[in-house]
Structures are given as structure tokens and as C-alpha cells.
Amino acid sequence: MDVRSCELSSLHRTHNFGKLSIMQIRQEVFDDRAGIYAVTHAAFSKDDHLVEPIEVGLVQRLFDCDAYSPTFSLVATNDKTVIAHVIATWGSVDGKHSLLGLGPLAVAPEYQNMGAGTALMQAIADRAENERISGIVLLGATKYYQRFGYEPAIARGIIPTQPSWGDNFMVRVFDERSLPAGKYRYASPFGC
């Protein structure tokens, strides 16, 4: 089996999670987009489900920007239906060095707390490590993301665009030697 086959087989994972008949993790394809938007809408909707959450528009703009790579856009499916999605796009450190920025991660409410988000976080980390990426940054809840190996980015010399992000701006390091230091800027659709 060649290296490419190993990478593809490691991404097409099948999991059995009780209520989920079978969950598969794979790279998204264009035909998944409607399902991705629906999952993102459901995951980030507040009280009024008629109002489109900003995360839906963000995902749409990320798909259309130069920083997008389908390699880092993964879906979890159950019976071929998209139930969760995660995306990481290219940002930059001091305008010179590329570094992935993760988000959003969305899981349909009826599938939350069943392992879909965890499986996606592990799969995107595996993909980044296989591609020899130095690290991934994200802005999120420290208690949730620490279990995936994320730590405050400032401790690694990666400075958030907004100082108020503090320890919620985190990094998962895969290669310390090539991890850039400096001010991080997300892909342009994030606006920061």
C-alpha cells in the first residue's frame, strides 16, 4: 500500500456509536455543502431558528476564499447524511508564515455528545500531522479543546489578533521546530 492510500484510508474512518448506525469521517465534497450549511445553522442557532447564524455565512465565504483547502474540510456522516463538519483554513503569522486556523466546528444538535465532534477533531489533527503542518490555531473554550492537545498560543509565541482572546486563542503543535512565532491573522473571511 502506498503512502497516499494510507492517508486516504486513515481519513475514511467508520465508527459505531450506539444511536448512530454508522458514522464515517471523510473529506468533504462539493455535494456536501447543503448539508454542511444545514448542520452549521442548526448547531449555531439561538432561540430564533429563522435567523441565519453568522457561522453559516462564514463557512460559505471560507469555501470561496484562497485560504481554503479541501484537505482540511472534513465531514462526519451517518447513513450518508452530514451530521458534523470542521474546517481549517490558511492564516498567516506576521504576514509571512502559513499556519492553519480551525473553525468553525459544527455538530447537528441531535448528534451532539455522541463523539462526532471528537472524531472530527482527531481526524483533522491526523490530517495536519500527516501533511507535516507545524500546528493549528483556534479560538475556543479552553476546557473543551485542551483534551485535543490544544494549549494557549501565546505561550508558544503566537499572538492573537485581539488581545482579549487571551487563553481562548489556542494552538495544537505538531512540529515545534517549524512552528512560527508572531502575530496570527486568520483567513480574510474571519475579518481579523
Provide the CATH number for the domain around residue 88.
3.40.630.30
pLDDT tens, residue by residue, 95-141: 988 999 999 999 999 999 999 999 999 999 999 999 999 999 999 99
Q: Which three cell numbers stand for residue 139?
A: 479560538
Number of domains in the chain: 1
The separation between CA 159 and the C-alpha centre of its own chain, rounded to angstroms, equals 20
Range 31-43 average pLDDT:
98
Cα-based distances in Å from 57 to 40, 64, 70, 135, 158: 10, 11, 18, 26, 27
- What pLDDT is stored for residue 1 in this prediction? 31
Is the pTM here over 0.85, yes or no? Answer: yes
Contacts for 143 with CB less than 8 Å, ≥ 6 apart: none
User: Is pLDDT at 66 greater than 80 in this prediction?
Assistant: yes
User: Is pLDDT at 5 greater than 70 in this prediction?
Assistant: no
> What is the domain range of residue 67?
3-190
User: Is pLDDT at 8 greater than 70 in this prediction?
Assistant: no
Under 8 Å between Cβ of 139 and 169 = yes
Q: Which three cell numbers stand for residue 174?
A: 505538531
Q: Which three cell numbers stand for residue 154?
A: 501565546
pLDDT band at 16 (very low <50, low <70, confident <90, very high): very low
Q: Three-state SS across 149-185?
A: CCEEHHHHCEECCCHHHHHHEEEEECCHHHCCCEEEE
Rounded-to-integer distance, Cα 19 and Cα 11, Å? 22
pLDDT tens, residue by residue, 129-167: 999 999 999 999 999 999 999 999 999 999 999 999 999
pLDDT band at 50 (very low <50, low <70, confident <90, very high): confident
Q: What percent of the chain has pLDDT over 90?
A: 83
Rounded-to-integer distance, Cα 175 and Cα 67, Å? 21
pLDDT band at 19 (very low <50, low <70, confident <90, very high): low
